[in-house]
Amino acid sequence: MTKETENIIQHQEEDSIDIIALLKQLWVARKTILKITVIFLFLGLFVAVFSKKEYTASTTFVPANQGEGTKGNLGSLASLAGINLGGATGGAEISPELYPQIVNSIPFQLELLETKLTIDGQEKPVSYKEYYTTIYSAGVLGYLKKYTLGLPGVVLSLFRADAEQEIVSQGNQILSLSQESSALIKQLAEQISLTVNDKEGFVTISVTLPEARASAQLTIKAQTLLQDYVLKFKTQKSIEQLTYIEDRYLEKQQEFTKIKLEFARFQDQNNGINTALGKTRLLQLQSDYDLVFSVYTELAKQLETQRLQVKKDTPLFTVLKPVNIPVEKSAPKRFLILVVYLFLGLVISIGYVLVQPVFLNVKKDFMSVSS
């Protein structure tokens, strides 16, 4: 047997001895391990029992882009009316990747705070803000968390003045938010989730609340509000142009009606005119009539063109999964909580048993050196 083989066998024997010694150490301290694990198990049971129920409602939709197909259909329709869409440009596109930024924006969430929700035990719907400020109870765990982990924040809030926090919105305006509204917005941001599937092209909005019906109502509101934001962004330029053309069209319509009546009245009053002055006046009225009629007709075509453009720019949203009131709660997952706490207690107890002798030795050496 070579020396190298002997070394390998010796290392294997040492490893076996270490594992056996480790197992013996754990067996000797089995009661300690059991006690700590049971404590964590009861702690997990407490968390599982007293955790507030939560319900998650969701909806999935596709922000369909009408694109070239719609443009072609509208172009065919316009050509039947003698209108040429030509190079008419649509509104700016907004990528679904920007939807999370819209949902997390302050103006968007301020509108969500005023969403009316149907709450069990309440005679009439209340707003999200009113629900969390006057009705909602955080429960046992909520109060424990607030006055343990959140105690520093509670203490600091006692010394803060009721100052308002200034936040600049997207509209170049400064919004003043109270600390209460700011806290509700942060909470709302955690309760609303928006995911964009780039590969499949669909968007999912989900809302988690302690009330099943309320979660569905807030999901519908978030979806509707998001679609309104996208619609406003997409059609803003086209609608502004449409409004401008409509105003010019109405002006020319009045002017055309006036010159048409004046031209007709002059012809009725001067039938068979022979004077040069009369003929000159007739030619002038005819020229004014033709000019106003030409501008009026062109504006009418532009008006129809712009109306088609607004329809083309209006985005369509195809709902794949409508909002339903959740029947089963999404949290707490009690069995999972128990498993996690059981595993955590087992790991901590084993770690404590293994580290304790090392710590005692270090403490003993330190005391001997000090003495």
Mean pLDDT calculated for residue range 225-248: 83
Query: Does residue 188 fall inside a structural domain?
Result: yes
Query: Does residue 12 fall inside a structural domain?
Result: no
Tell me how far apart the alpha carbons of residues 239 and 90 are, in angstroms, rounded to a whole number: 11
Q: In this predicted model, which residue has the larger pLDDT, 187 or 16?
A: 187
Q: What is the pLDDT of residue 145?
A: 60
Tell me how far apart the alpha carbons of residues 73 and 83 are, in angstroms, rounded to a whole number: 13
Query: Does residue 83 fall inside a structural domain?
Result: yes
Question: How many domains is the chain built from?
Answer: 1
126-127 and 165-168 strand pairing: unpaired
Least confident of 196-205, 238-247, 309-318: 309-318
Q: Which domain holds residue 67?
A: 55-321
Structure tokens at 252: 């020319």
193-223 per-position pLDDT tens digit: 999 998 888 999 999 999 999 999 999 999 9
Q: What is the pLDDT of residue 55?
A: 94
Query: Does residue 199 fall inside a structural domain?
Result: yes
Query: Does residue 326 fall inside a structural domain?
Result: no
Query: Does residue 41 fall inside a structural domain?
Result: no
Share of the chain above pLDDT 90, in %: 23
Query: Does residue 316 fall inside a structural domain?
Result: yes
Q: What is the pLDDT of residue 82?
A: 42
Q: What is the pLDDT of residue 69?
A: 41
Query: Does residue 332 fall inside a structural domain?
Result: no
